[in-house]
Structure 1
Amino acid sequence: MPNDRLRSRMLTKGLTPGALAERLGVDPKTVERWITQDRNPYPRYRHTIAELLDESESYLWPDALPAQRAAQVSQSEVVHIYPRRGAVPTDLWQQLLEKATRQIGVLVYGGLFLPEFNHRWVPTLREKALAGAQVELLFGDPDGKHIAERGNDEGIGAAMSSKILNALAFYEELRDLDTVGIYYHDTILYNSIYRFDDEMLVNTHLYGTPAAYAPVLHLRRIGGAELFDNYVASFKQVLGKKRAVWPEH
């Protein structure tokens, strides 16, 4: 039985079996068997292929690991749990950003604390984008209904929209970069997500509680696990509903 998921993602990304084989250093016939006979690649290849195709391993090869083993592996993706965002070491945000080279993603309502308290945050984002990293920043739509609801839930009302606009003012210097996407979303966020290649900080949301006082998960992607990739999938769902902050760009 062919692996149609793998075949489809390769077509979407414009990768032929020969090209993928060259990237991995394997025989093209091996790649053909992965596709036509649904053979499972070795773990080191699965991880690389998933990265190249921008897809999760669990989606491309759902039977590669038994469910119980996949759950155990996923637990290893949790580097640390912080009881509240304020307990995250202040230099960790910058350290993760500086290590990232490929993908940087931020999904928040406002996230004002990052550029406000770290003067290196936005300049480093610019440096990363100029070096070729893909940067995607998603902010709550100041005029959206879910932003108004979140402001009411936290007891700050319209101040939520003001915080978003204040945050965006810091990102003006990224406006001219083709590798940076800055968008609005109008979705209910159950978590704020900060992705740095294969590491991520997930700030959970609690009803009626500002995000600064909610727990944070530090995750590191492990091949064959599901936790990190589930949050990536959530990020992509919101990204699919975006609208540009600056349409002219």
Structure 2
Amino acid sequence: MPRELWLRLLTDAQERMDVLVFSGTFYAQAQPKIARSLPELDGCEIRLHSTTLYASLFRYDDDLLVNPHAYGEPASANPTFHFRRLDGGTIAGHYMSSFERVWAEAVPWSGAEI
């Protein structure tokens, strides 16, 4: 996935940006501005989960990046698929339902030590 696409989706997002990852280290390394002082930002909510994820999910408004996980491989060594929510479409909604189930079980985090 080209870095330019990640940055475009991030900067063009108007309503929401949702990220569901296991550790997300590659995300913070590729997007250093993302990891700075997030818990203090208005409208930003961070939650911690203990779910075994089968895919990392990144939603930018109606665009969704899905990074399925292959056992024993880092996220960056696996493919990332780009989906867009469309009227009548089901794929993006399918993955976002998964996101919502994990989010509902996750614990809010204020930025303090774990």
Q: TM-score, normalised by structure 2?
A: 0.89
One-letter code aligned to 1:97? L
Residue 188 of structure 1, CA deviation: 1.0
Residue 221 of structure 1 corresponds to 85
Q: In the alignment, what sits opposite 1:163?
A: none
2:15 aligned with 1:108:
no
SS in 2 for 1:175: helix
Aligned to 2:72: 208
Determine whether 1:89 maps to 2:2.
yes
Matched, 1:236 2:100: yes
Q: How many residue pairs were aligned? A: 112
| 1:121-140 equivalent positions in 2, closer than 5 A | 121-122=33-34
Q: CA deviation at 1:247?
A: 7.7
Q: Name the CA distance, whole Å, in 1 between partners of 2:57 and 2:31.
A: 18
The separation in 2 between residues aligned to 1:177 and 1:213, in whole angstroms, is: 31
Q: Secondary structure at the match of 2:9?
A: helix
Structure whose residues are more often helix by fraction: 1
CA deviation after TM superposition for structure 1 residue 207, in Å: 1.6
CA distance in 2, matches of 1:193, 1:247: 21
Report which structure shows greater RCO (CA 8 Å, sep ≥6).
2
| Cα deviation code 1:123-175 (max 9, x no counterpart) | xxxxxxxxxxxxxxxxxxxxxxxxxxxxxxxxxxxxxxxxxxxxxxx34x122
| Cα-Cα RMSD | 1.6
| Residues in 2 aligned to 1:242 and 1:95: alpha-carbon distance in whole angstroms | 28
Match of 2:46 among 182, 188, 191: 182
The TM-score, its normalising length taken from structure 1, stands at 0.43
How far does the alpha carbon of each residue in 1:204-233 deviate from its partner, in whole angstroms, 9 at most, with x for none?
A: 011222211111110011100100001110
Larger Rg: 1
Partner amino acid for 2:91? Answer: L
Paired with 2:52 and 2:101, the residues of 1 have a C-alpha distance of 12
Kept after mapping to 1: 8 A contact 2:39/2:111: no
The alpha carbon displacement at 1:178 in A equals: 3.5
DSSP-derived class of the 1:236 partner: helix
Number of the residue aligned with 2:11: 98
Q: Which secondary structure does the structure 2 equivalent of 1:180 belong to?
A: coil
Q: Runs of 4 or more off by more than 6 Å in structure 1?
A: none
Residues 84-121 of structure 1 show CA distances to partners (whole Å, capped at 9, x for unaligned) of xxxx11111110011111111000011122232333x4
Q: Distance in 2 between matches of 1:239 and 1:247?
A: 17
Structure 2 letter corresponding to 1:118: Q
Unmatched segments (≥5 aa) in structure 1? 1-87, 123-169
